[in-house]
Amino acid sequence: MKVEIRNLTRIFQRGFKAVDDLSFSFSSGEVVGFVGPNGAGKTTTMRILATLDIPDSGDILLDGKSILDDPALAHRAIGFMPDELPDRTDTTVEEYLDFFGRAYGLRGKALADALAAVEDFTGLVSFRDKTLHELSKGMKQRVSLARALVHDPQVIVMDEPANGLDPRARIELRELVKALAENGKAILISSHILSELEEMCTTSVIIERGRRLSTDFEDDTAWIRLRFAQKEGEDFLARLLEMPGVKEAEAAGNGFRARIASGDEAAAELAKGLFSRGLVPIHFASEAGRLEDVFMHVTKGALA
Amino acid sequence: MKNIFSINPVALRELRQLVRSKIITMSLAIFPGILFVFTMLAVSTAMRDKPPEELAFGDGLGEGPFTMVSVITGLVACLGIPFYATMKAIMETKRDATGLEFTTALTPANIIGGRLAATAILIGATVATAMPFFIFAYLLRGIPLEQVFLMPFGLFAYGLSTFAIALSVACRQGSVAMKVITTVLLFFLLTIFSSVSQISLMTIGSHSETPSTLATTTYILLSLVATLVFFRAYCASLLSPPHVDGERPFRRVVFALFLLSSTLAFYSLDACNAWCITWVSIAGVLLIQSALSPREIPRAARGSAPRGFFRRLLAFPFTTGAVPGMLFAFLIIAVAGGIFSLRVKDGDEILILCSVVAEVTFAPILVGAILRRKKALPRTYRFAGWIMIALLCLVSVISFMAEVRAISSGAGEMLPCNFAGINEHPIEHFRNYGILLLFSVVIVAVSSISAFRKYRKPE
């Protein structure tokens, strides 16, 4: 299934443009990171996708069909996972999922099979009889995901799913997202944790003040993080800059960062240079901060 | 029962939550005990000063226990349960702020219907629990059999109608604190103005065997059904999610219905008649209208409009609910004609006073509330509506003063509740009828033209 967001604009009261002529698309098997600062228009866009809001102009097409003209199409095809978690003392996990299964029109065996499938996929089988209030935040997040999946949608929209989760729950969520993408779902996911997104997303869309920012800039460099057994002094930065291929260097934590040309060859050249000068690093790794770099680069102008 | 619940997931969810509610389970467990204790107290009080021969052959002891059971059941079914259910709905609207139900196949009508169904079952269970005590009171003699069945049915209808009204508060936009305050005030007003009148009228109606008072009882029950149906539709319109088209003919027609009902009240110039006509009209018209009119029109309905102007003109009424609107206009006139032809000769002070109070307070509040919904109605309606409210208030107050003057001067048997009087002046009757017809056609025509202008041309 292909999702096309075309020239979407949403204007709130007093002319505030939450979303401004936003366009992008994604397809089955893709995980799109939807990135932007607070108030950038991410949630508004996602709510429009879920038919919880309507745009002032523009359209959203699912396989070429407008969800504005046919909201039921979106209800069938899209599973929406908001950033708010379910929390009730009088509803069990099973009952919560059962309600939404029925609300999507599932009955009888189809409903039972759907509930069993999502509970199994999200690891909720042993929690089905607990009330929502008894669950941890990570488990509530799983319930929210199970709810979004109960009608087997082709598109999944996740608004800040990793918000407030502990590291273990984040890793588990990441694995679930990867598994969903492997099953052919098209996934749009927003998060503030860019390193998280980078690990699970195939592409990313960066927005700010409702507008999509261009990510088409040349950046053929990468940061290498270095640490040595002996603490090096400030003058080491000057020595580091003399190494082959190093374009920029700075102190970082209890070590250093060096910007070199991207690619394995440049990294190997730097390692060779260090060894040849008798500098043996105990930590030598490239930083997984590509998305962060891009984000900082493209939002720099607008934030200033 | 399983099939009923499978139709509406909201009802099933609500019932599951009610079962887990400690307040509800404890109340249902204690309720029969309270009824038992107070019934026994009422019986012992009634027996205290009566000789044995009167106990065996007299008028019976049923009235005291019956009143006691009615009052306790009424408090629980008509106030306690609706209040609890409304508070629960208010808290849930805050909690489920994202409106996830609207991302499913559920419609606003499903959601409201589900809540009403769950509350109906709870009220039904309460009234059913009280039934053995009502029958016990009947066996003690002094209570007509029909009253034993009429009272539980009335309490059920009244309790459910009350909840439907209060649910509209929960469905509105606004802060939780404001909704809670509004609900408390609403229940206070309903308790004072409505429950007293409704229940006392039903009691009066069943005591008397004259056809006119039985007819009055029927009117009141019909008015409760009308209230229920109207507020079900109104709540659904308040809940309508953004993906539903803003052009909502059902809401427009419901408003027009109120407007015309108020017109009828205005033309009647008699509070009792006005009240009956208003509510009986609403009952009949809404039931049919709700069956005919598409409640929510997706944008696709306008987007798929034919290209040619004349073809669009022909297709428009059938896609936007204008045909049901026209039907409504003619139907309301037919219903009004039928009501005018009724002959209810006797009057009753309580009936008149309560109905006038209800008319003065209830109708303007409702119409005003609908009018304040800025997006709800075309501007033409709002303007006409405010004028109508002003007239309605004026006429109601004048009528009220007239009734009070008539009662205080001891007008006697023939209080001014005179359908018959209207029928004695057929020319006036037909003149009023004609003006009403004209007004209806103008209203529907204006709204139809307004809607047609918005009927989108295909791109």
State the CB neighbour count (10 A cutoff) for residue B22: 8
DSSP codes joined into one string, B10-26: HHHHHHHHHHH-HHHHH
Cα–Cα distance, B387 to B266 (Å, whole number): 12
Q: Is A72–B20 a contact, with Cβ atoms under 8 angstroms apart? A: no
| Residue B196 vs residue A280, higher pLDDT | A280
A153 and A65 fall within a common domain: yes
A204 and A85 fall within a common domain: yes
Residues of A in contact with B20 (CB under 8 A): 89-91
Judge whether B215 and B417 are in contact, CB under 8 Å: no
Q: How far apart are the first and last CA of chain B?
A: 48
Mutation target vs A (from B6, B17, B100, B459; most A CBs, 10 A cutoff)? B100
A41 and A93 fall within a common domain: yes
Closest chain B CA to residue A147: B100
Q: At what angle do helices B145-171 and B63-74 cross, to 10 degrees?
A: 10
- Return the pLDDT at B297: 44
Among A63-72, A149-158, A187-196, B176-185, which range has the highest average pLDDT? A149-158
- Return the pLDDT at B338: 44
- Return the pLDDT at B388: 54
- Return the percentage of chain A with pLDDT > 90, whole number: 26
- Return the pLDDT at B391: 57
DSSP codes joined into one string, A116-150: HHHHHHHT-GGGTTSBGGGS-HHHHHHHHHHHHHT
Residue numbers of the domain that contains A207: 2-212
Cα–Cα distance, A283 to B401 (Å, whole number): 94
A49 and A140 fall within a common domain: yes
Q: Is A52–B300 a contact, with Cβ atoms under 8 angstroms apart? A: no
A197 and A248 fall within a common domain: no
Mutation target vs A (from B20, B104, B240, B299; most A CBs, 10 A cutoff)? B104
Q: Is A72–B103 a contact, with Cβ atoms under 8 angstroms apart? A: no
Q: How far is B11 from chain A (nearest CA, A)?
A: 10
Q: CA distances (Å), A168 to each of A84, A160, A197, B131, in order?
A: 20, 16, 16, 57
Q: How far apart are the first and last CA of chain A?
A: 39
- Return the pLDDT at B377: 43
A100 and A236 fall within a common domain: no
A84: nearest CB among B10, B12, B97: B97
Of B280, B287, B258, nearest to B365 by C-alpha is: B258
| Residue B386 vs residue A137, higher pLDDT | A137
Q: How far is B115 from chain A (nearest CA, A)?
A: 14
Indicate if the pLDDT at residue A157 is higher than 50.
yes
Q: Is B298–A100 a contact, with Cβ atoms under 8 angstroms apart? A: no
Indicate if the pLDDT at residue A208 is higher than 70.
yes
Judge whether A154 and A186 are in contact, CB under 8 Å: yes
Question: Which band of pLDDT confidence, cut at 50, 70 and 90, is reported for residue B368?
Answer: very low
Average pLDDT, chain B: 65
User: Model confidence over A30-88: pLDDT tens digits?
Assistant: 899 898 888 888 999 999 999 888 888 888 999 988 888 788 889 999 999 988 878 88
Q: Is A52–B299 a contact, with Cβ atoms under 8 angstroms apart? A: no
Question: Which band of pLDDT confidence, cut at 50, 70 and 90, is reported for residue B361?
Answer: very low
Q: CA distances (Å), A12 to each of A21, A188, B108, in order?
A: 14, 23, 24
Question: Which band of pLDDT confidence, cut at 50, 70 and 90, is reported for residue B381?
Answer: very low
A29 and A175 fall within a common domain: yes
Average pLDDT on B434-454 reads 55
A104 and A192 fall within a common domain: yes
Q: Could you give the 3-state DSSP secondary structure of residue A113?
A: helix
Indicate if the pLDDT at residue A243 is higher than 60.
yes
- Return the pLDDT at B77: 92
- CATH number, domain at A183? 3.40.50.300
A190 and A208 fall within a common domain: yes
- CATH number, domain at A256? 3.30.70
User: Model confidence over B300-340: pLDDT tens digits?
Assistant: 444 555 566 666 566 655 554 444 444 444 444 444 444 44
Average pLDDT, chain A: 84
Cα–Cα distance, B155 to B151 (Å, whole number): 6
Domain end marker among A182, A212, A242 = A212
Q: How far is B102 from chain A (nearest CA, A)?
A: 7
A22 and A79 fall within a common domain: yes
B105: nearest CB among A69, A78, A104: A104
Residues of B in contact with A99 (CB under 8 A): 9-10, 12-13
Indicate if the pLDDT at residue B36 is higher than 90.
yes
Counting the structural domains of chain A, the total is: 2
A106 and A231 fall within a common domain: no
Domain end marker among A212, A243, A258 = A212
A158 and A122 fall within a common domain: yes
Q: Is A52–B106 a contact, with Cβ atoms under 8 angstroms apart? A: no
Q: What is the pTM of this model?
A: 0.67
Q: How far is B242 from chain A (nearest CA, A)?
A: 5
Residues of A in contact with B10 (CB under 8 A): 99, 103
DSSP codes joined into one string, B207-232: H---HHHHHHHHHHHHHHHHHHHHHH
Domain end marker among A212, A244, A259 = A212
Cα–Cα distance, B135 to B329 (Å, whole number): 45
- Return the pLDDT at B213: 46
B296 at the A interface (CB within 8 A)? Answer: no
User: Model confidence over B189-204: pLDDT tens digits?
Assistant: 777 665 555 555 555 4
